[in-house]
Copies of this chain bind each other. A is one copy, B any other.
Amino acid sequence: MEKSNKVSITVIRRLPKYYRYLADLMEKGTNRISSQELSNMTGFTASQIRQDLNNFGGFGQQGYGYNVEDLYNQLRKILGLETLYHAVIGGAGNLGQAIANFKGFEDAGFKVVSLFDKNPNIVGLKIRDIEVRDSNTMIDYIKEHKIDIGIITTPKESAQGLADKFISAGVKGIWNFAPTDLDAPDDVIVENVRLNESLFILSYFLKRDFE
């Protein structure tokens, strides 16, 4: 039950971490967890955790903590993991194929139903049971199949063009792996995966360690 519509992005970005730890606790068969224990696991303060979760409802009980299964299910609802979204991948190179095989999709309620590429040598390939189709057919496919998400795994030069096609075809969100910003209308959600930036952070810390 949402108490507030304006939860800050900093809070929102902590939610998947809570979910990951709750999923592990579910796997282990743990019944209950206190905010202090969650604090020890996550590194966030117990008070931060309680505050974050209070944005969405009163899930815990003072003196008891949280029921693991209950909080797990609440987080699934909050994160929208109960809804199945259909996705297509634009760019069927190594990264696109790796993403097509990405197990995390099912956990998050996403299903990749097609890849698209321009390269005639790749068109027609099957990744598991998912076909690589010609990029000329992509817009029609997205409209016909009411695809929710477009995934960009092309080089950065092609990314905006691909995004424009996704947007014109009516996707609701874009998962972008290209190392560039995308222009998109406000009603299209863009989530960027910054692999280069992650590597630069690694490089920063490696340098610090060896000076």
A residues near B (Cβ < 8 Å) are 12-13, 15-17, 19-20, 78-81, 83, 85, 93-95, 97-98, 100-105, 107-110, 148-149, 155, 172-173, 175, 179, 187, 189, 191, 193-210
Copies in the complex: 2
B contact residues around A16 at 8 Å (CB): 194, 196-197, 200-201
B contact residues around A93 at 8 Å (CB): 98, 101
CB distance from A54 to the nearest CB of B (A): 17
B contact residues around A196 at 8 Å (CB): 16, 20, 104, 107-108
B contact residues around A101 at 8 Å (CB): 93-95
Complex formed: what's the CA distance from A104 to B194 in Å?
Answer: 10
> Is the CB–CB distance between B20 and A204 below 8 Å?
no
